[in-house]
Structures are given as C-alpha cells and as structure tokens.
Amino acid sequence: MAVSSNNDWQAGKNVLECNKYMLDNQLYCDVKFQVGKAGRLISAHKYVLASRSSVFAAMFYGGLPETSDVIVVCDIEPEFFEILLRFLFYEDGDVSSTTVIGTLYTAEKYAVTDLVNLCRSFLETNITEETVCDIMENVRIFNMTDLLTKCMDFIFQSQSCAKMVFESSGFLRCGRECLMPLVKSDELPLREEIIYKSLLRWAQHNCKKEGNDVEDSTSIRTMLGNLIFHVRFPVMSLDTFWKDVGENDILSDTEKVQISRLISGKTVKVTEFNSNVRKIGRTFCLMRGTKLESQKWILSGKIDAVDFEVNKHMLMHGLLLYGNTNAPYTYKVELKVLLGTRIILHVAEQSVSECAQTFKINFDKPCEITPNERYTLWAKIVGPASYSGSYSPCIRRKDCVFQFYHSDQCRNGTNEQRGQIPGLLFSSKE
C-alpha cells in the first residue's frame, strides 16, 4: 500500500531537513520550555537537544534528570532561545547586530561551542566606531579576553578612530569597568582635553539615568570615581588646563593648584594624577642635520625662516633652536607657522634663558600639518650669536618624508641647507 504524502514527510529530506520539519511543525515533541518574562511555551525534542549540548544531555539523561513537564527559562527571551533551537536542530546560524549578544549568552549557558564561536566571529567582523563600546561591554562579561584586546587595538589604531569612539553613543553605555582600561592606557591616542570632555559627557549621562542633577559638580565627580585620576592633566598646557578644566568645580582647588604646579615644572610631593605622556603626546624631534657649523649665527632680530612639506598628517608641537654653550644666555623669541600667507600659529615673544647647544620652544597647542602642503617656519630671535648647522633638504623617518625649501620670508640666511631651526617637534596624526 502506498504511504500518503502526509505520512511520508521524511521522503527526500536529509537529517537536518527532517529536524527542521519536526521543529517547525512541532511533531513528536517531548519537552516544553517556559521562556522569558512572559513565559512563552516552546516545545522541542530531548534527543536532539542532548545530542548537541552537554548541558541538555545532563538535564535530560544525567544522574538527576529534569522531571518537570515544563522547564522554566526566565533569563532568556524567546527570540534568542529559538535561534538556539534552530542552530541545534538544523545549524541555522543567522544572527544580527540586535540578536548576537542575547544569542551569545544563550549559547554560553547551554555550552554550544560552535554557536559561541559563530557569535564571536560575527562580533569580531562587525567592530566599528559605533559598535566597539557595546561589544567591549558585553565580551568583558563573557571573559572573551582575545576579543576584548581586538576591540582595544581597534580604538588605539589612530587618533581619528579613537575620537569617533569617544564621541559615540556607545561610549555613554560603557560601564566604569570597561572604560578604566581605556583611559588608563598609554596607548590611547587622544589629547587629554578630549578624554576629559568625553568622560564628563559619560558622567552626566549616567547621573541623569540615576536621577541626579547633571549640573551638580559633586554628583559628576562621584560618578567619575577613580577615572578622573587617569586623565593626564599634568601634560596639558597651562592655558588648556584652565580653559577646559579649571573653570568648573569637578576638581578641588587643591587639585587645581597641584596640577598647575606640575604643568609649570615644579615639584609636588603627593598627587594621585598620572603624569605620563600618552602615545599621541609623545613627540619625536626631527633633526634636519647633525653637523654643527663653527661660524656663529648672528641673531639681531632679522627673520630666520624655512619652508617644508611632509607626506603624512602630522601634529607639530614646537621647534628646536640653536643656542650656545659659551655662557648662560637669554634670547627673545617670536615664532610663526604659515600656510602661504596665512598665519596658522603664532607664539608671541618670550624670553628663554639657557646654556645649551639647543633649546625647545613648545607650542601651547599642537599645530595640524596636512600632507603635501607647503608651510613656512618663521623665527625672530634676538640675543647673542648662536651655533648654526648644515642640513639635508630631504629627511626620512620611517614612512614620513620631510622636504625642506628656501623661504621668501627669510632675511637672515637660513635655508634648506644651513642656518637656524635645526629641529621640529612632531607626533603622527594617523
């Protein structure tokens, strides 16, 4: 006798297709789960579950098997439990950005390693500036240290990437335990004022969640906790510190005085604030040459200048100028950085007292240098005669190429091959 099509549903199907048919049509189910807060009933098959999960195997066939007609699963919502069942029954691993974390929790709970790895792979390949904080917050809970490291490496890859992450909505959802390793790290490529402002935004967001006044300095400081001590206030310029930090009451008056003294190079006996310079603040000194000229360079106020281009985005933090070692000296120095005829940075005249071959003039804030644009370094120096140097017009440092040229602004003999301005203080912006 021919078997009717209704009784022959197995025909032409492989094992996964048969499992799918039974699950979708609720055939021969022998276990029920009451899932989620609403207690939705979902039926399944003990044998299939036990064949794919050691947790289900112990639940149904272990030394103390589950005897209840309905198994309560209140910590997992139906959407994620059904993804688990589809994976166990017929290896459907369809997860999305909205379901991957819930699915990961479910897969971890029932020890379904292949589904855990699938979720891990999905997260790893979907790390972006907008998602990385949410991913970090969740993988920390699951102790996925390798994926957590990849997230941090992603943030640390460039200043622009880190800035987008710290300005993202996901940053506000991070817990303090997730933020701490970021702001503590020397590898975080952000200026301290950006880190500080982002943490203030985070603290205000969380104060609002807890029903506290977002304008109350005490509430904000309490919310920040120890995070505040990992903002490197002492590496800021004094102007930046008082403009961006000192005008509010997040820090105490005593702390403001301590930090101001540290910025000014004075000794402070005890402070909890970190003074180490981060990667973004670590400048390298590009020396234009190493040969010292015996001829003394007259510094009577005529302009020393040289033009340059570089092939990478850079931040210029200052200049190195020649002095002398014959006796203590005092120079009056005024500096400019020009792009064409436009002044993009001006250091007003200041006095420098030293007794050294070279001395540094640090800018209050970095000067952004864009690739393949011709800039002019302009220096007006008044004081005793200094050393001078002979230079190479083209300097390479790793993948950065600096090209120097004669400047029409110069009135004192400095050019691409000799004179003043022996070094430039830079950090990479990429």
Domain definitions of the chain by residue range: 5-125, 191-280, 283-428
* Average pLDDT, integer, range 13-29: 92
Report the alpha-carbon distance of residue 24 to residue 43 in Å, rounded.
Answer: 10
pLDDT at 380 over 70: yes
pLDDT at 274 over 50: yes
pLDDT for position 295? 67
pLDDT at 179 over 80: yes
| 102-137 pLDDT per residue, tens | 999 999 999 999 999 999 999 988 899 999 999 999
Least confident of 17-26, 282-291, 369-378, 383-392: 282-291
pTM for the model stands at 0.62
Quickly state the pLDDT bin for 1 (edges 50, 70, 90). very low
pLDDT for position 228? 95
Q: Which CATH architecture has domain 283-428?
A: Sandwich (2.60)
pLDDT for position 119? 94
* Average pLDDT, integer, range 68-94: 94
pLDDT for position 281? 58
pLDDT for position 294? 65
Quickly state the pLDDT bin for 252 (edges 50, 70, 90). very high
Would you say domain 5-125 falls under CATH 1.10.3720.10? no
Q: Which of 269-278, 353-362, 369-378, 390-399 has the highest mean pLDDT?
A: 369-378
In the predicted model, what is the mean pLDDT of the chain?
90
Q: Measuring CA to CA, which residue among 233, 395, 375 is closest to residue 315?
A: 375
